[in-house]
Amino acid sequence: MSTPHNAAKKGDIAKTILLPGDPLRAKFIAENFLEDATQFNTVRNMFGFTGTYQGKKVSVMGTGMGCASIGIYSYELIHMYGVENLIRIGSCGAMQDFVKLGDIVMAAGASTDTNYAHQYHLPGSFSAVATFDLLSKAVEQAKEHQFPYVVGNVLSSDIFYNEFEEWKDWAKMGVLAAEMESYALYCNAARAGVNALGIFTVSDSMLSKEEMSAEERQNGFTNMMKVALGVAVQL
């Protein structure tokens, strides 16, 4: 079964998948962490691979940027390919001074400025949250490896270059960091009754203005990758 965005056949994709935004990060994970990895997708250069990690079948696939893009890919993975556990791994921008460059941020919840949830015709605002089992396993992995991490709320924003510094208003509400995809992923997972978690590496700070290079973003997030894979082998 293929889709307009995915050439995989039924069975090519594992029940658990890691979802970086950058397809080259998916390639990096397949080449450096998975054994016997095979590529199941190249459509639109959105690379997807399936292999094993510590004997467990695991997939990894890029999703692109924004709620619209991950909304498409995660929906197809869930409904067309039977994926049950979706772990987003990406970069984020810190909004709090105690969240440092290179820290791992785990999204217990995702706030948003998008209108993604309007499709569900809910009589209010939907609180998009992670699956607690995946979140608790990720925390244990970070503790085991002694990686610096924080857990809390993130902002899934539609806007990268904002005319105004609206992030400061979100920061006043205790939001830890900004990214662009988790809200849609959590919505899709909740609607389908499957599991989802967003894990991020802090690539820049809105306060200190520090930032990682593009190469560091692509290849330097190994702590986050190890945490996500450590969760995957338990599912």
Could you tell me which residue, 217 or 32, shows the higher pLDDT? 32
Domain range list for the chain: 16-232
Q: Is 12 a catalytic residue?
A: no
- pLDDT value, residue 220: 63
What's the average model confidence in pLDDT over 29-38?
98
Asked if 93 and 206 count as a contact pair (C-beta separation under 8 A), the reply is: yes
Task: Tell me how far apart the alpha carbons of residues 209 and 76 are, in angstroms, rounded to a whole number.
Answer: 37
Mean pLDDT over the full length of the chain: 96
Write down the pTM of the prediction: 0.96
pLDDT in tens, 45-71: 999 999 999 999 999 999 999 999 999
85 forms bridges with which residues in the sheet? Answer: 16, 195
Q: Where does 16-232 sit in CATH, by number? A: 3.40.50.1580
CA-wise closest residue to 61 among 84, 70, 185, 53: 70
What's the average model confidence in pLDDT over 17-34?
96
- pLDDT value, residue 199: 98
pLDDT in tens, 88-141: 999 999 999 999 999 999 999 999 999 999 999 999 999 999 999 999 999 999
Whole-angstrom CA distances from 225 to 6, 19, 153, 170 are 23, 10, 20, 27
99 phi and psi angles, rounded to 5 deg: -95, 110
Which amino acid belongs to residue 106?
M
pLDDT in tens, 162-220: 999 999 999 999 999 999 999 999 999 999 999 999 999 999 999 999 998 877 766 66
Catalytic member of 12, 22, 103, 204: 204
